[in-house]
Amino acid sequence: MSTYDDASLIYYPSGVKLGKAYSLKPTDGSGDLTFTRASTATRVNESGLIESVATGVPRIDFTGGGCGKLLLEPQRTNVQRYSNTLSTNWIITGGATVSYNNAISPDGTNNATYFSAAYGSKGLYNSLTITTSTYTASVWAKSKGLGNDKFQLGEGSGTGTGGVGEFTATSEWQRFTKTGTTVSGGRPVGVFQPIDFSAMDILFWGYQYEEGSYPTSYIPTLGTAVTRLADSASKTGISSLIGQTEGTLYAEFLHNGNTARIIAIGDNSTNNRLFLSNNGNKLQIFLLISGSLILSGTGASSFINGINKVAVRYNSGNIATYLNGVQQITSSATFTTTALSNLFILSSEFAPNQQSGLASMQSAMVFLNGKANAELAELTTL
């Protein structure tokens, strides 16, 4: 029997509409994921351009090319009030030159900014009042091809560890990021300046400064800080598609070091739940039945930066997890499952609207039977 025939539910990023991400199986729509996000958001489309997606519509993201992936992110705020209108609120110093609407940007329009500055000048920055926390600065930059392509990016003063990062722009648009801990108060943020003894000539677009340890999708601003709310994808009331005494969960996803929850089933409470997640960059399983902890364990292998495949067989007395073709956690713990009626993708199984880590789902499957070890190894081999 083929994997498609054997699975009770298959999700693969394809069709979407307001509040829904369509599953390939069942074909009657009973397994389609319910999606929420109470704000607009951006994605990279099939043409490689950044575009806005309406409130409540899932994002099929094509970052890096290849197949589209369901993008799910936590809530984030771009506190930079003018992300791309640098004529307002930004400070140009030391004889730097700025030319607006100078080239085609990553969103496909003529709104990239050209920036040139001599070595030793501050260049370009923006004063923001921020709290003590970890922040990530990010910007798309590209070489103009006229001079030095090295520049600095980040937070320019204070006693924190924010500081600036040193980067080199190329002939292609790239997103550059710098993460660090800053201290409360007004800070010069942006800090574009040369790091060599010749003039800097680069194009840039889409500046973002967000609280968090990694960058998320671009949040445009024009005068005020803007918040993109969290994504959530789940399906409730599908006990007939989830094995109640045994079964298998599978997920293929893009891991970038920030993925939290991967895939889970449960009853939307803390009493009955099974999930796979990231614990120190290793696969973790957590199984709780009728309020009792049955299993909590972490595998030996690390996730890779890129596509990963994971699976778990839950069967009383015979539990096993696999990561990229290698067995991880096994257990002979016994249990009797009840009320496994909900599926959660890349989010908390008892608070599905609280997405806690950036993640992109390539595919997910549910099986009513517990797959044999050889099948799990084959299913998860890259």
Same structural domain, 69 and 82: no
Nearest to 349 by CA among 258, 233, 238: 233
- Domain of residue 295: give its range: 3-75+231-380
Same structural domain, 164 and 89: yes
Among 57-66, 158-167, 254-263, the range scoring the smallest mean pLDDT is 158-167
Q: State residue 166 phi and psi, 5-degree precision.
A: -105, 130
3-class secondary-structure state, position 311: strand
Q: How many domains does the chain have?
A: 2
Q: Is the pLDDT of residue 217 over 70?
A: yes
pLDDT of residue 242: 96
pTM of structure: 0.91
- CB 91, CB 127: distance < 8 Å: yes
Nearest to 79 by CA among 221, 246, 184, 233: 221
Rounded distance between C-alpha atoms, residue 351 and residue 145, angstroms: 49
Residue 50, beta-bridge partner list: 44
Rounded distance between C-alpha atoms, residue 287 and residue 137, angstroms: 38
Same structural domain, 110 and 198: yes
**CATH code at position 268:** 2.60.120.200
pLDDT digits (tens, 9 = 90+) for 144-191: 887 678 888 888 765 556 678 889 999 999 999 999 888 888 777 777
Same structural domain, 103 and 158: yes
Same structural domain, 70 and 156: no
Last residue of a domain, one of 224, 252, 271: 224
**CATH code at position 200:** 2.60.120.260
Q: What share of the chain is helix, strand, coil (3-state, %, to 5)?
A: 5, 50, 45
Same structural domain, 111 and 49: no
Percent of the chain with pLDDT over 90: 61
Same structural domain, 215 and 235: no
- CB 285, CB 296: distance < 8 Å: yes
DSSP letter string over 23-84?
Answer: -SBSTTSTTPEEEE-SS-EEEE-TTS-EEEE-TT--EEE-TTSSS-EEEE---EEE--SBSS
Same structural domain, 84 and 210: yes
pLDDT average, residue stretch 180-204: 76
Same structural domain, 293 and 198: no
Other C-beta atoms closer than 10 Å to the C-beta of 325 total 15
Same structural domain, 65 and 97: no
Amino acid at 32: D
Rounded distance between C-alpha atoms, residue 87 and residue 108, angstroms: 21
Last residue of a domain, one of 194, 224, 254: 224
pLDDT bin (cut points 50, 70, 90) of residue 301 is very high
Same structural domain, 20 and 86: no
Same structural domain, 47 and 110: no
Last residue of a domain, one of 208, 224, 240: 224
Instruction: Decide which of 37 and 159 is more confident.
Output: 37
Percent of the chain with pLDDT over 70: 91
DSSP letter string over 257-308?
Answer: S---EEEEEESSSSSSEEEEEEETTEEEEEEEETTEEEEEEEEEEEPPSEEE
- CB 276, CB 264: distance < 8 Å: yes
- CB 363, CB 10: distance < 8 Å: yes
